[in-house]
């Protein structure tokens, strides 16, 4: 979804500070995090306001959000509500030279310019049996179960994720999605579930840019399957029809259009953009979801998270990290300790062993796998999605939010450092996935969470802690169990990957 803006100043924008000529993403991010941290009396809130080196130091404040959130079962919702409220109050919406708050635009603009374009798939009407494409094979049946066992034993995936994949294997009837209407924001996303939903009879409401190449991909995918596509369409001045809608500039209209559907909607926020646009498209998806949820309280929410972030983790993972640290070969211990000392502790920093006690009587750890190269805008975009998920579940909505594995999508491998690091990740027993493998796993996991009443997705299921919503079903590729902070080992994974690719 590149080149999404129709005009430089149209649609959702970061605010411009008084006396400034252009918006500051740093100032906005700090205001949002300050609102979140100060709501739970974090000592880092005042430090955040004075932070001069945001670009390098931002992970510390995101870690504080998690650390403080763990300490009380009441804090994650407080943090989420205050952070989201601050964001909603900050972002502006511009149209025809007029500016308003985004919240006001969502409330005041009542236009609905879209017709429904409908396309029914012409492929085999039978539901295609689920499989996972992996290393050139289509894993099904016993072969799939054996691979799930390997991933679990190698700690590539968490036990709850393995359990979900086994349940999917045992319940082929779950894959009949003919009774579901599934909304894909960023439908053509490389990591999205479109290709699988198209084989499972889903009713797919696709939202993506009005770009002919994007819609050729979407329509061809649906046409080859057995699903039904519904897309927004407008009539142009020359009487031609145009498919698509712009999440950043037509935010209120998209929400109004979705509210014309009588069906219960499953809303999936999978759109991705580079840099600060990712924050704006995240707030756009959240704003639309919120508007639709006001009228359709039975709608569900779905986001996919990245493993390269900071999360609360179960005590069992902390124990695993400690075991791995002790079991390292002596040469690895000596080498990494030497590099750690020579680099003035900048490389191979030990993964945190600290357990944090919550007021529910349990202890949790923190997995800090945030990668500086992805930048603070990416971190903020994903945090907004987490906050909205936590708040949606607390309000009684079914909320799917799963950690997807590191995946070699185009948006990742165009960064040469990340590309090399992914290629060398196996140096630290971390597995990266191809897009087709991730697609198959995450599309099926969405199906699992919508069907299994025991999933944390179900708001009536009691959780010991709100952050367990994000812990469950994690596919982190092994990153949670690495004995070092990911960003302090990244240069060595990148060097190893570069050598592997060259030689």
Mean pLDDT of 18-22: 80
pLDDT (tens digit per residue) in 112-149: 999 999 999 999 999 999 999 999 999 999 999 999 99
Same domain, 63 and 123: no
Average pLDDT of the chain? 89
**pLDDT confidence of residue 493:** 57
Rounded Cα gap, residues 309 and 378, in angstroms: 10
Rounded Cα gap, residues 28 and 26, in angstroms: 5
> Within a domain: residue 345?
no
Is the predicted pLDDT of residue 5 greater than 50, yes or no?
Answer: no
Same domain, 17 and 148: no
**pLDDT confidence of residue 372:** 83
User: Minimum mean pLDDT among 342-351, 354-363, 383-392: which range?
Assistant: 342-351
Environment class of residue 237 by beta-carbon count within 10 Å: exposed (0-12), middle (13-18) or buried (19+)? Answer: exposed
Mean pLDDT of 410-432: 66
> Which residues does 427 contact at the CB level (< 8 Å), separation at least 6?
492, 493, 496
Q: Which of 111, 134, 151 is the last residue of a domain?
A: 111
> Within a domain: residue 244?
yes
> Within a domain: residue 405?
yes
Highest mean pLDDT among 161-165, 323-327, 489-493: 161-165
Cα-based distances in Å from 97 to 9, 100, 280: 8, 10, 19
Count of domains for the chain = 2
> Within a domain: residue 253?
yes
Using the structure block, give the residue that is written with the tokens 């994000």.
470
pLDDT (tens digit per residue) in 44-70: 999 999 999 999 999 999 999 999 999
> Within a domain: residue 49?
yes
φ/ψ bin of 117: left (φ > 0), alpha (ψ from -120 to 50), beta (otherwise): beta
Same domain, 178 and 42: no
Query: Minimal CA–CA distance to 73: which of 360, 499, 303?
Result: 360
| % the chain with pLDDT above 70 | 84
Is the predicted pLDDT of residue 8 greater than 80, yes or no?
Answer: no
Q: Confidence class of residue 425 from pLDDT cuts 50, 70 and 90? A: low
The alpha helices in 1-123, defined as continuous H runs, are 25-38, 44-50, 54-71, 75-90, 102-108
* Pairing outcome for strands 265-269 and 300-305: parallel
Using the structure block, give the residue that is written with the tokens 């995946």.
407
> Within a domain: residue 450?
yes
**pLDDT confidence of residue 428:** 62
Same domain, 247 and 131: yes
**pLDDT confidence of residue 481:** 85
Can you list the pairs that 134-143 forms with residues at least 24 positions away whose Cβ atoms lie under 8 Å? Answer: 134/437, 141/169
> Within a domain: residue 500?
no
Q: Confidence class of residue 157 from pLDDT cuts 50, 70 and 90? A: very high
**pLDDT confidence of residue 103:** 92
- Residues of the domain holding 105: 13-111
Q: Confidence class of residue 337 from pLDDT cuts 50, 70 and 90? A: low
* Pairing outcome for strands 265-269 and 137-139: unpaired
**pLDDT confidence of residue 348:** 54
**pLDDT confidence of residue 344:** 43
CATH code, 181: 3.40.50.720
Same domain, 272 and 400: yes
Same domain, 72 and 153: no
Same domain, 96 and 148: no
**pLDDT confidence of residue 51:** 95
Rounded Cα gap, residues 111 and 92, in angstroms: 19
Is the predicted pLDDT of residue 22 greater than 70, yes or no?
Answer: yes
Q: Confidence class of residue 327 from pLDDT cuts 50, 70 and 90? A: low
Is the predicted pLDDT of residue 10 greater than 80, yes or no?
Answer: yes
Mean pLDDT of 481-485: 76
Rounded Cα gap, residues 437 and 151, in angstroms: 13
Same domain, 137 and 162: yes
**pLDDT confidence of residue 311:** 96
> Within a domain: residue 212?
yes
Q: Which helix (H) or strand (E) holds 392?
A: helix 375-394
Q: Confidence class of residue 12 from pLDDT cuts 50, 70 and 90? A: very high
**pLDDT confidence of residue 417:** 62
Same domain, 293 and 404: yes
Q: Which of 61, 90, 111 is the last residue of a domain?
A: 111
Same domain, 280 and 190: yes
Is the predicted pLDDT of residue 2 greater than 50, yes or no?
Answer: no
Is the predicted pLDDT of residue 483 greater than 80, yes or no?
Answer: no
pLDDT (tens digit per residue) in 240-250: 899 999 999 99
Can you list the pairs that 210-216 forms with residues at least 24 positions away whose Cβ atoms lie under 8 Å? Answer: 210/242, 210/243, 210/244, 210/245, 210/246, 211/244, 214/188, 214/244, 215/243, 215/244
Q: Confidence class of residue 491 from pLDDT cuts 50, 70 and 90? A: low
Q: Which of 79, 94, 111 is the last residue of a domain?
A: 111
| % the chain with pLDDT above 90 | 73
Query: Minimal CA–CA distance to 129: which of 81, 200, 221, 59?
Result: 200
Same domain, 186 and 58: no
Same domain, 94 and 225: no
φ/ψ bin of 451: left (φ > 0), alpha (ψ from -120 to 50), beta (otherwise): alpha
């Amino acid at each position: 979804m590149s080149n999404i803006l129709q005009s430089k100043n149209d649609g959702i924008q970061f605010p411009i500070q008084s006396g400034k000529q252009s918006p500051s993403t740093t100032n906005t991010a700090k205001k949002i995090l300050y609102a979140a941290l100060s709501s739970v009396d974090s000592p880092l809130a005042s430090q955040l306001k004075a932070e001069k080196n945001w670009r390098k130091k931002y992970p510390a404040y995101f870690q504080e959000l998690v650390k403080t959130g763990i300490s009380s079962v009441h804090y994650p919702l407080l943090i989420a509500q205050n952070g989201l409220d601050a964001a909603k109050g900050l972002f502006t919406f511009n149209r025809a030279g007029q500016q308003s708050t985004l919240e006001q635009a969502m409330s005041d603009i009542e236009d609905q310019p879209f017709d429904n374009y409908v396309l029914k798939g012409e492929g085999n009407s039978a539901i295609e049996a689920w499989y996972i494409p992996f290393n050139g094979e289509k894993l099904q049946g016993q072969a799939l179960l054996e691979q799930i066992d390997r991933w679990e034993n190698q700690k590539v995936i968490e036990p709850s994720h393995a359990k979900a994949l086994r349940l999917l294997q045992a319940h082929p009837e779950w894959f009949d999605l003919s009774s579901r209407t599934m909304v894909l924001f960023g439908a053509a996303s490389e990591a999205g579930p479109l290709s699988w939903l198209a084989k499972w009879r889903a009713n797919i409401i696709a939202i993506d840019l009005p770009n002919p190449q994007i819609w050729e991909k979407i329509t061809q995918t649906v046409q080859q399957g057995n699903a039904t596509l519904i897309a927004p369409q407008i009539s142009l001045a020359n009487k031609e029809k145009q498919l698509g809608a712009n999440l950043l500039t037509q935010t209120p209209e998209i929400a109004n259009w979705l509210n014309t559907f009588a069906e219960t909607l499953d809303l999936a926020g999978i759109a991705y953009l580079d840099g600060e646009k990712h924050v704006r498209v995240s707030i756009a998806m959240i704003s639309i979801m919120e508007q639709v949820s006001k009228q359709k309280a039975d709608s569900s929410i779905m986001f996919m998270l990245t493993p390269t972030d900071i999360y609360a983790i179960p005590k069992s993972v902390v124990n695993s990290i400690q075991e791995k640290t002790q079991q390292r070969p002596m040469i690895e211990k000596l080498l990494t300790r030497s590099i750690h000392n020579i680099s003035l502790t900048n490389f191979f920093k030990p993964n945190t062993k600290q357990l944090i006690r919550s007021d529910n009587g349990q202890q949790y750890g923190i997995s800090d796998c945030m990668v500086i190269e992805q930048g603070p805008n990416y971190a903020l975009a994903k945090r907004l999605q987490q906050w909205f998920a936590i708040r949606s579940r607390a309000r009684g909505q079914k909320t799917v939010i799963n950690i997807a594995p590191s995946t070699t999508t185009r948006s990742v491998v165009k960064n040469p450092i990340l590309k090399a690091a992914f290629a060398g990740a196996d140096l630290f027993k971390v597995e990266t996935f191809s897009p087709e493998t991730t697609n198959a796993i995450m599309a099926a996991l969405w199906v699992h969470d919508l069907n299994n009443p025991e999933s944390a997705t179900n708001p009536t299921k009691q959780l010991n802690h709100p952050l367990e919503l994000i812990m469950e079903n994690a596919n982190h590729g092994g990153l949670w169990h690495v004995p070092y902070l990911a960003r302090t080992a990244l240069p060595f994974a990148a060097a190893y990957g570069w050598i592997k690719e060259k030689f």
